[in-house]
Structure 1
Amino acid sequence: MNKDIFGTAIKDFYNKKYTEDITVLADDFDDDHIPIPYLFRAYTEMPKIEQKALDLSYGKVLDVGSGAGSHSLFLQNEKKLDVTALDISDGAIQICKERGIKQAIVQDIFNHSSTTYDTILFLMNGSGIIGSLDRIDLFFTHIKTLLSKNGQVLIDSSDISYLFQDDDGSFWVDISAGYYGEMQYKLKYKNQESEQFDWLYIDYNTLQNAANTNGFISELIVEGENNDYLAKFTLAID
């Protein structure tokens, strides 16, 4: 994304200039909206999948796609963990720091290689940053270099196959068009609009198979009420 849509919106809300939400644009679906206050939610306001991920977090933590830092703040202040918030948004990381997060970095996860972590979090459809299914081996290969020997990856996603179901329950997708969870979006906020970017929703079985192929043991931790789930990955013992 060439424009810092999330960063601008997050800064506006933090500085009490909140007037509208982020609009999500997709070619084949109606516009959706991301309420900016939701990015500042407390633990008690989070869905059970996020709460479970935070409950399971331990050790040195990397919060990928940290946004306004709500997950990082809970882990740092309530669980007293060593947390690094990481996001590609300059504005988001600026607000993370202003909210008191001690370690916050502007960087793409695929360029991050400074140390290893005991817990790596990918929340709020964390699989989205993979982009497309053909990048999933790259994702696991890179994450392996960031994970401590006894570390864990906690990632959530959704199986959006229900969007392609007919009224009779039958499932129809165009196989030639690629994996059904590969989406392309634009974000709009006030007078700014981002370039189109790839975002991946992935069903658990597909994610599990890719993880196992790349040397991880997978576990389905909890399922939500909207075809979403939390998965855990640990390195397989040689």
Structure 2
Amino acid sequence: MSDIIGKALLDFQNGNYSEDIITYSSLGEEDMITVPYLFRAYNDMPKIEQRALGLCYGKILDVGCGAGSHSVYLQEKGFDVTALDSSKGAIRVCELRALQNTICTNIQDFYGTKFDTLLLLMNGIGIVGNLNRLGNFLNHFKSLLRPRGQILLDSSNIIYMFEQDDDGGYWIPDTIDYYGEVEFQMSYKGLKGKPFHWLYIDFENLKKYAQNHRFACELVSEGKHYDYLAKLTLRP
């Protein structure tokens, strides 16, 4: 599988930035990921991300770290943070940015170490892919948390992207199990990656799944465009 994200991040880190990542989705929209944005400093981060970083404590695992911008900030603040990503290119960039602790693997394959904070930003919970897999991921996250641990994640309710009926309801195709399940494909400098599934979950569904798996779920803050920050904590 082509490491599209990793190639783009390495190009930018090595001074070879010339174009951005193009994304295609099952929603029928073509969009772009601006590579320099993935290297943003704290002051350029959305308020939700800044709030999440301010809530971090203890030993931290940055899941789906990408270029490592959140980990860099936390390490500079003196935290014991580990940056994890399945992209070899992303992890190499994190190493070049002087992050001390990095792991290249899928989160589902990572075991053994426990943390106080699991951080999943930039819709990091999207790695779940499909709603029916969320329970398994929550159980795995539970195995990585210390007794008073927390999960900080942001996501978006993308119901606004569907047509609204006259009675206020939304028209969702019968072929979709849950409207927040989106298939993406990325291309960069003529290379095209394999399609992958990505999950956007509304807060009420997140809360329901969290409670069913013995997590307390708190809505910490909401953004300007249907996005939100949630905190999940282990119940006794």
Q: What is the TM-score normalised by the length of structure 1? A: 0.96
**SS of structure 2 residue aligned to 1:29:** coil
Find 1:155's aligned residue among 135, 139, 153.
153
Q: What secondary structure, in the 3-state scheme, does the structure 1 residue paired with 2:29 have? A: strand
Aligned counterparts of 1:135 and 1:190: Cα–Cα separation in 2: 33
Give the Cα separation in 2 of the matches to 1:157 and 1:142. Answer: 19
Decide which moves more: 148-157 or 23-32.
23-32
- Deviations 1:145-178, CA, capped at 9 Å, x for gaps: 0000011000110000001133755411134521
Amino acid at match of 2:2: K
Paired position in structure 2 for 1:91: 89
> What amino acid is the match of 1:57?
C
Alpha-carbon distance between aligned partners in 1 of 2:29 and 2:57, rounded to the nearest angstrom = 39
Give, in whole Å, the separation in 2 of the partners of 1:175 and 1:227: 23
1:78-117 correspondence to structure 2 within 5 Å: 79-117=77-115
> RMSD of the TM alignment (CA)?
1.1
CA 1:195–1:176: 2 relative to 1, 3 Å: closer
Residue 203 in structure 1 maps to residue 208 in structure 2: no
> What percentage of aligned pairs have identical amino acids?
49
1:126 maps to which of 110, 121, 124? 124
* TM-score (norm: length of structure 2): 0.97
Report matched runs for 1:114-193 at 5 Å: 114-166=112-164, 168=166, 169-193=168-192
Q: 1:219 aligned to 2:226?
A: no
Instruction: Please give the alpha-carbon distance, in whole angstroms, between the structure 2 residues aligned to 1:101 and 1:24.
Output: 28
Q: Which residue of 2 aligns with 1:55?
A: 54
Gap runs ≥5 in structure 1:
none
Superposed counterparts of 1:8-87, under 5 Å: 8-77=7-76, 79-87=77-85
Unaligned residue ranges in structure 2 (runs of 5+): none
**4+ long deviations beyond 6 Å:** none
2:23 counterpart letter in structure 1 = V
Between the aligned partners of 1:90 and 1:230, the Cα distance in structure 2 is 28
Say which SS state the counterpart of residue 177 (structure 1) adopts: coil
